[in-house]
Structure 1
Amino acid sequence: MLIHPWDAPEEDRIWRAWLAEHDFGQLAVNGLPGEPPFVQPLHFAYDADAGAHGEVLTHLARPNPIWAAVEACPTVLLSVVDDYVFVPGPWQAPDDTPPEHGTPTSFYTAVQLTCRARIVDEAREKAALLNRQVAHFQQDGVTTPATPGEPPFGRMLPGIRVLRLEVSEVRAKFKYGSHKPESAQARTAEGLRARATPRDQAALAHHTRHRTGTGHGHPGPAGG
């Protein structure tokens, strides 16, 4: 993932705060020889306090074909993308350019976690980790914990495997046009307000936060 300097978060707390509210992503695993990479959509729980870069907990069904690939190469990548919108070219056109000559682009947030995966099959550890993940989502406290050999979930434990992902590297990108001239940023903000889809509102919050207010921007590509 290409990250221009103006798209990089200034501090780790920025991507950590965003990731705390986004817990669904895609786990990419190297394919076995002769096969393409394996990509698995999944919910996960991120623990920022575990290790230098945090830890991810998730689980999948035992029949999932991902396991052989993880065992062959435990270095995996968890990709989380959201708050994305299409930005029409006229919104981004410089003042001395006809609106129809403006370059369309995409706004989005992306966080990629490179991890070392460990598969957990031991019943008690698996249950404890699963309970931690479920507690992240069901915070009302009414869920019965999974306990090996006990109803209602004990009999289901053999049917899943837990993945414990130790995060070794984080790459984060907040692409919201902060390098553009102030006039283009203001026009884009107004366009997002007027279009007003749910993702436009999230993108507008990022765009407003990252606006430079300098009246000029870095020369750079519209893509990325």
Structure 2
Amino acid sequence: MLIHPWDRARDDTEWQRWLAVHDFGTLVVNGLDGEPPYAQPLHFVYDAERGEALTHLARPNPMWAALLANPEVVLSVVDDYAYVPGPWQAAPDTPPEHGTPTSFYAAVQLRCRAHVVDDPAEKAALLNRQVGHFQPEGGSAEAAVGEGPYSRLLSGLRGVRLEVTDVRAKFKYANHRAPEVQDRILEKLTERSGPGDAAAREHLLRRRA
């Protein structure tokens, strides 16, 4: 992922706060020899204090052999995206039709070392942490070994603890454009009010400040 200086995260806090509420991404695993990479969409829980992400997948998932052969993986998260028409980005005193269209988006890529969790008690603890994150209001029984409604399902799952070894974060929201161009983009995003436009507008305003 190309990251220009003006698109970089200002600090770790910026991308960590964003990732805390964007908890669905794609786990990318190197393919076995001669095979393309595996790309698995999934929910996950990111723990900033421990520097890890937690997730789980069904045991029949075809990626396990590749992950065990090479546990160096990438967890990619992209959201808050919006298409920006060329005229919106035209430089001052330039014909609108000369503006360059682009995409706004936020993206965090976590390079990780994957650790497979097969111990039943550890899997149950991992699952309960995930459910606690996504269902803080409760309403579901806890996973436990040998008891409860989910005990028989544990054997059909494998947990994954993703130890984060590197982070690449990008917030692409016209931060290098002239203030009057940014003003125009903000106005147009408000007028269009399409999917993702409000989030893109908030990012532009926040990073501009």
TM-score category of the 2 structures, normalised to the smaller one: over 0.9
Matched, 1:32 2:29: no
| Equivalent of 1:89 in 86, 90, 101 | 86
**1:57 maps to amino acid:** L
Deviation at 1:23, TM superposition (A): 0.2
Whether 1:155 and 2:123 are equivalent positions in the alignment is no
Are 2:186 and 1:202 equivalent residues in the alignment? no
- Tell which deviates more after alignment, 143-152 or 184-193: 143-152
Quote the offset at 1:182 in angstroms: 1.1
Distance 1:95 1:59 in 2: 50
CA displacement 1:100-125 (0-9 Å, x = unmatched): 11100110000000000000111111
Distance in 2 (CA, whole Å) between partners of 1:125 and 1:208 is 43
1:23-78 per-position Cα deviation (integer Å, ceiling 9, x unaligned)? 0000000000000010000000001111xxx1100000000001001000000000
Q: Structure 1: which 4+ aligned runs deviate by more than 3 Å?
A: none
The one-letter amino acid paired with 2:174 is G
Counterpart position of 2:21: 21
Post-superposition offset of 1:142? 2.5
Say yes or no: does 1:177 pair with 2:168: no
Name which of structure 1's ranges 132-141 and 67-76 shifts more when overlaid on structure 2. Answer: 132-141
**% identical aligned pairs:** 63
Partners of 1:91 and 1:208 in 2: CA distance: 16
Q: Is the 8 A contact 2:189 2:198 kept in 1?
A: yes
Alpha-carbon deviation of 1:10? 1.2
Q: Which residue of 2 aligns with 1:60?
A: 57
* Aligned-partner residue type, residue 199 of structure 1: G
The whole-number CA distance in structure 2 between the counterparts of 1:134 and 1:162 is 13
Aligned equivalents of 2:30, 2:164: Cα separation in 1 = 17
Aligned equivalents of 2:168, 2:47: Cα separation in 1: 17
Q: Which runs of 5+ in 2 are unaligned?
A: none
For 1:56, what is the secondary structure of its paired residue? Answer: strand
Does the residue aligned with 1:26 lie in a helix, a strand or coil? strand
Q: Distance in 1 between matches of 2:10 and 2:174?
A: 15
Structure 1 unaligned regions, length at least 5: 213-224
Superposition RMSD in Å: 0.9
User: Residue 31 of structure 1: SS of its match in structure 2?
Assistant: coil
Looking at structure 2, the residues matched to 49 and 203 of structure 1 have their Cα atoms a distance apart, in angstroms, of: 28
Is it true that 1:103 corresponds to 2:93 in the alignment?
no
* 3-state SS of 1:84 partner: strand
Distance 1:147 1:208 in 2: 46
Aligned mates of 1:90, 1:114 — CA distance in 2:
37
TM-score normalised by structure 2 residue count = 0.98
Separation in structure 1 between the aligned mates of residue 170 and residue 139 of structure 2, nearest angstrom = 37
Q: Which residue of 2 aligns with 1:113?
A: 110
Report the Cα offset of residue 91 of structure 1. Answer: 0.5
Distance 2:181 2:61 in 1: 47
Contact 2:85–2:101, Cα closer than 8 Å, also in 1: yes
Q: TM-score, normalised by structure 1?
A: 0.91
